[in-house]
Amino acid sequence: MSFSPAISAHAKKAGGQKIRAWHLNRRSGTDLSSLAEEINPQVRGWIGYYGAFYRSELYSLALRIDQHVVRWAMQKFKRLRGKPIRAWEWLNAVRQHQPKLFAHWHLLPPIQDRLVGAV
């Protein structure tokens, strides 16, 4: 028998549902730092609890948060609307200028042309 102290599939799915329930794309009236202030306590809790062992298991949740932030940016800024590649480039630029804005950014490698949805 073996035991893996990583995040379970059930907990990962619940985390993904929680991220979706934040409805970030509907908050186009708020700025990025306000979004970060709202979600960072929850994300820090996940990292502290589930990330004690096998932090790499949290990569999928961190990527999902970034995907929702990109969707938020595409709703917020007209120049990014319908342009997911440019939205990812924008997020990468923000991440380079403010690397500690979101709590999960230290988990992921730098963003490289990730797309939202099927393109």
To the nearest whole number, what is the mean pLDDT of the chain?
89
Cα dist. 118→25, 59, 74, 83 in Å? 18, 20, 15, 13
pLDDT of amino acid 119: 45
Closest listed residue to residue 77, CA positions, set 67, 68, 87, 85: 87
Using the predicted structure, report yes or no on whether residue 23 has a pLDDT greater than 90: yes
For the stretch 33-84, pLDDT in tens is: 999 999 999 999 999 999 888 888 899 999 999 999 999 999 999 999 999 9
